[in-house]
Amino acid sequence: MDRDMIAETFAFLLLLSAIDGQILAPNTQANVISRTSGNLLRNLTGTQVYKDTIFTSRLDASAPIRRFYRGFREVYSRLLGETGQRNSGNFLQAHVPPTRAFPCQTEGFRSATPPVSVHQVRPGDVDIIAAVGDSLTTATAANSVALWEVMVENRGVSWSIGGQGTWRTHLTLPNIIKEFNPQLFGYSLSDSYNVHRKAQFNVAENIATTSDMPYNAKKLVRRMKLDPRVNMTHHWKIVTYMIGGNDFCSDVCYQANATMWINEMQEKYLIESLRYLRDNLPRTIVNLVPSPLISLSFSMDNVQTPFSCSLTRPIECSCLFGPSYSKDRKLFRSLERKFVKIMERVSFLGELHTPDFTVVFQPFFQDASVFYRGSKNADMSLMSIDCVHLSQKGHAVSANGLWNNMMEPVGKKSLGFRPLFQQFKCPTPDKPYIFTNYNS
């Protein structure tokens, strides 16, 4: 029996144990469902109306399916093994030779004593790194070379929270900050899922939407409080918060009248989760980042994509590429653009800024494209095999963009992708701090 047959057998057995009789549960309220009850088949098919206008991925609609998904991932990952350690392929960044120095001067950019103000934090002052979000933060399929690997989460190479290797092999935000503070911790170490220790403070989940962010925020805080390494009131932290792609890629088209209320609900959950972080994570800078998923999808409209993408995109991003819903993709795009503006506006809310907590909108993903800025040729090596997720190279380019935004004052932040290391901003003696709304 080959690996595929073993995986399918395990998946079927897990599904049978997970359903637990709910597949025949009566449908008492048409197609109205909640996260924890309802007819399983109806919860997974057709347009949904959620109680209390809560919108979430349909795969999160019932406890049995969540148990099945978690069990399936465990079996799947053990059968496939780790893919994140691959060191050859055009989906990887080119390694930087030892003869080339780190692009920035690192001496002098950690304060002699930890700063009191969030507006005087140097890169070396950051002790803890964390992230909330979806599959682009879990680095799903970043190192995949086959379609059956697209469920593997290569968290160690994630642009915002991966700590695998060094900046020479895997450019990530943690691997950049480690050059300023080698004692940095919290970054993901290798392939892992949310529940694994190696994920550390990367609490992102595949298929997550904005409505999941209050839970994501609480999970992050709880995880930090349980970690004996963390001193909440002493350590400075960076949390990168990126969300929104799944709202428009795989959720909005399945819910009745969602186009009428989705932006309102997104703003509600966004503010709720940021308030929770403010109240529970002192000494924190939040990088608030719009998702590149929709922009990247539209940038490939006139590109000859691999056949594998034609197979996966109607499934992974059915609202844009599914035959039943793609007619409304321009509407979904306009709603996504509105959400980006909401994110930026929320980042300026006065209540989200205290002496030791701030939110900064980092817009580099806003115009993400497989075309580098000024280039007429698409670089499809930025994308994973499914053309939905980023490759490891795409994560490295994204880390470069995030870092540059952190080194750029508000109102003067760069947008879009550039070739790796073409532009790499650095702190200076005159401007040594990570830019915030109040020190720009």
Reading the block at residue 216, the tokens are 């994501």
CA dist., res. 391 & res. 198, Å (int): 20
Domains of the chain in start order, with CATH, are: 29-80 (no CATH), 117-439 (3.40.50.1110)
Percentage of the residues of the chain whose pLDDT score is greater than 70: 84
pLDDT tens digit sequence for 237-276: 999 999 999 999 988 988 778 899 999 999 999 999 999 9
Reading the block at residue 371, the tokens are 């075309």
Q: What is the DSSP letter of 34?
A: -
Bridge partners for 132 per DSSP: 241
pLDDT tens digit sequence for 348-366: 999 999 999 999 999 999 9
pLDDT of residue 31: 42
pLDDT tens digit sequence for 104-155: 999 999 999 999 999 999 999 999 999 999 999 999 999 999 998 888 999 9
Kindly provide the residue ranges of all beta strands, DSSP E only, lying in 100-139, ordered along the sequence: 126-132
Confidence at 62, pLDDT banded by 50, 70, 90? low
Confidence at 66, pLDDT banded by 50, 70, 90? low
Global pTM reads 0.86
Whether 39 shows a pLDDT value over 70: the answer reads no
Q: What is the DSSP letter of 50?
A: E
Question: Please, is 421 exposed, middle or buried when counting C-beta atoms within 10 Å of its C-beta (0-12, 13-18, 19+)?
Answer: middle
Query: How high is the mean pLDDT of the chain?
Result: 87
Report yes or no: 319 and 329 within 8 Å, Cβ to Cβ. yes
Report yes or no: 134 and 245 within 8 Å, Cβ to Cβ. yes
Confidence at 195, pLDDT banded by 50, 70, 90? confident
